[in-house]
């Protein structure tokens, strides 16, 4: 790798730091792209990426002993420390026969629940010692930061044995009142399913998972929660209803019935997150929250997930929060614009009417 190529990549990473970008994307045939707030911007001054440039980028980030792994698996995820200035989650993957590279900036600071803007009902969730707490949302919605804040809060307030299964490990925790173990998929265990299976016979109080990639992993996760542990899992769904539809659809017939029963009985809560650009810069957190009540339990058990929206709308006293209410509060607080809120509302017409009341 030439000195010029090294300088170019370092310059791009420096640009990311200066612009306070959260993501970088390298794709052959395109300019490098960075995400600033919610905007994807090209770094046209760096020129188009060709196969030789991509090879240099991969060589810059990947240790020699991992290069064979990439050739075999066509994918690699890891954390890269850049000159002690910043840490990135690196994802190298293949598409259309060529490799692409995506980087996400990792904060070195574990923020508190309050600093993240999470509502107080979260404190009720994390006081529980068994059941399921799901943190869901699209990519770049702050889910990892929420899980880190939850783990750190428990770590500082009570004695538990916590095991966090990740791909890759992002934040490094220091045990305080709790014992925290972190296992990396691809390094310490070969898959999420294997990692979850291995926990079943261990003395662990709380299990956290950074991803639930397949039915086998989900089944193992539900079995762990059913055995008396608190399970905290990150999901990829953008609403409460789609989260339950997605999870249960992984199972067939009797297994689906079993999954609905376990989820209904042991649900602690569901937090769905969205990050919305602030008027003043930065991002504000909007949430949709479902808590366990007799009504929500019955709907989950019967598989009537579409009706959970109505329960959320009418159960404010039980700590539930609809996405629309969360967006309205952010608008009224002057955090986000009405126009931005409308973009993210489930029903823009109804939401506009609520804004004008």
pLDDT in tens, 107-136: 888 999 999 999 999 999 999 999 999 999
Number of domains in the chain: 2
Q: How many CB atoms lie within 10 A of CB 61?
A: 18
Token readout for 275 is 């990050």
pLDDT tens across 239-257, in order?
999 999 999 999 998 999 9
Residues 94, 73: Cα–Cα separation, whole Å = 9
pLDDT attached to residue 322:
96
Q: Is position 142 within any domain?
A: yes
Q: What is the DSSP letter of 62?
A: S
pLDDT band at 302 (very low <50, low <70, confident <90, very high): very high
Average pLDDT, the chain: 93
What is the rounded distance in angstroms from the CA atom of residue 76 to the CA atom of residue 90?
8
**Which of helix, strand or coil describes residue 349?**
helix
Q: Give the gyration radius of the chain's Cα atoms.
A: 21
**Domain end point (choices 88, 106, 124):** 106
Same domain, 22 and 136: no
**Residue 297 confidence (pLDDT) above 90:** yes
- Are residues 218 and 177 part of one domain? yes
Note whether 222 and 249 are same-domain residues.
Answer: yes
pLDDT band at 325 (very low <50, low <70, confident <90, very high): very high
Question: Phi/psi of residue 75, each to 5°?
Answer: -160, 145
The answer to whether residue 339 is domain-embedded is no
Say whether pLDDT at 356 is over 70.
yes
Percent of the chain with pLDDT over 90: 78
Q: Strand, helix or coil at 13?
A: helix
Q: Is the pLDDT of residue 87 over 70?
A: yes
Question: Are residues 135 and 157 located together in one domain of the fold?
Answer: yes
Q: Among residues of the chain, what percentage have pLDDT more than 70?
A: 100
Q: What is the SS3 assignment for 226-243?
A: HCCCEEEEECCCCCHHHH
My answer on whether 87 and 140 are in the same domain is no
Under the banding of pLDDT at 50, 70 and 90, the label for residue 357 is confident
pLDDT band at 233 (very low <50, low <70, confident <90, very high): very high
CB 110 within 8 A of CB 171: yes
Q: Could you tell me if 120 and 101 lie in one domain? A: no
Q: Are residues 135 and 93 both part of a single domain?
A: no
Question: For residue 208, is it within any domain?
Answer: yes
Alpha-helical (H) ranges within 49-200 are 51-61, 67-73, 113-116, 121-126, 143-157, 192-199
> What is the residue range of 173's domain?
113-321
Cis ω before 18 (30° cut-off from 0): no
Residue 15 within any structural domain of the chain: yes
Residue 73 has pLDDT above 90, yes or no: no
In this predicted structure, which of 14-28, 157-171, 293-307, 310-324 has the lowest mean pLDDT? 14-28
What's the mean pLDDT in 195-218?
A: 92
**114 φ, ψ (degrees, to nearest 5):** -65, -40
- Point out the domain boundary residue: 89, 106, 123: 106
Supply the pLDDT for residue 107.
84
Residues 221 and 312 in one domain: yes
pLDDT value of position 183: 96
Residue 1's pLDDT band (cuts 50, 70, 90): low
- The neighbouring-strand residues paired with 33 are 25, 42
Question: What pLDDT score was predicted for residue 315?
Answer: 96
Answer yes or no: do 10 and 148 share one domain: no
Task: Report yes or no: 297 and 311 within 8 Å, Cβ to Cβ.
Answer: no
Decide: helix, strand or coil at residue 92: strand
Query: Does residue 32 share a domain with residue 133?
Result: no
The full 3-state SS of 288-330, as one line of letters, equals: EEEECCHHHHHHHHHCCHHHHHHHHHHCHHHCCECHHHHHHHH
Domain of 18, CATH number, reads 3.30.450.90
Q: Residue 184 region, left (φ>0) first, then alpha (ψ -120 to 50), else beta?
A: beta
State the Cα–Cα distance between residues 100 and 120, nearest whole angstrom: 40
Mean pLDDT of 54-81: 89
* 354 lies in some domain: no
| Per-residue pLDDT at 328 exceeds 70 | yes
In a domain? residue 219? yes
- Pairwise CA distance, residues 260 & 301, whole Å: 5
* Residue 293 placed within a domain: yes
- Residues 180-184: what's their mean pLDDT? 96
CA dihedral 182, 185, 188, 190 (to 10 degrees): 150
Which of 84, 106, 128 terminates a domain? The answer is 106
């Amino acid at each position: 790798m030439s000195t010029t190529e090294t300088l170019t990549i370092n310059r791009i990473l420096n640009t990311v730091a200066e612009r306070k970008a959260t993501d970088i994307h390298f794709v052959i045939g395109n300019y490098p792209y960075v995400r600033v707030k919610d905007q994807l911007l090209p770094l046209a001054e760096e020129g188009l990426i060709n196969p030789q440039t991509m090879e240099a980028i991969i060589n810059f980030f990947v240790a020699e002993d991992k290069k064979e792994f990439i050739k075999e698996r066509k994918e690699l995820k890891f954390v890269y420390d850049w000159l002690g200035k910043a840490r990135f989650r690196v994802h190298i993957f293949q598409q259309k026969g060529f490799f692409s590279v995506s980087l996400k900036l990792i904060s070195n600071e574990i923020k508190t629940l309050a600093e993240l803007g999470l509502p107080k009902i979260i404190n009720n969730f994390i006081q529980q010692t068994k059941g399921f707490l799901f943190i869901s949302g699209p990519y770049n919605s702050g889910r990892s930061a929420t899980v880190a804040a939850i783990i750190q809060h428990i770590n500082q307030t009570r004695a538990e044995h916590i095991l966090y299964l990740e791909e890759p490990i992002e934040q490094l925790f220091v045990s305080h009142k709790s014992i925290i173990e972190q296992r990396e998929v691809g390094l310490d265990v070969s898959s999420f399913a294997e990692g979850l299976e291995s926990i079943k016979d261990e003395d662990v109080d709380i299990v956290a998972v950074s991803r639930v990639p397949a039915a086998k992993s989900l089944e193992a996760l539900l079995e762990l929660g059913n055995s008396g542990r608190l399970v905290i899992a990150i999901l990829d769904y953008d609403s409460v209803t789609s989260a339950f539809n997605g999870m249960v659809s992984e199972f067939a017939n009797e297994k689906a019935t079993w999954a609905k029963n376990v989820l209904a009985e042991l649900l602690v809560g569901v937090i769905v997150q969205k990050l919305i650009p602030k008027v003043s810069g930065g991002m504000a957190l909007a949430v949709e929250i479902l808590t366990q009540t007799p009504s929500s339990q019955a709907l989950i058990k019967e598989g009537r997930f579409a009706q959970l929206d109505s329960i959320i709308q009418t159960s404010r006293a039980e700590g539930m929060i609809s996405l629309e209410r969360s967006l309205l509060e952010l608008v009224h607080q002057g955090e986000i614009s009405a126009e931005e809120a409308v973009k993210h509302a489930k029903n823009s017409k109804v939401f506009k009417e609520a804004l004008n009341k």
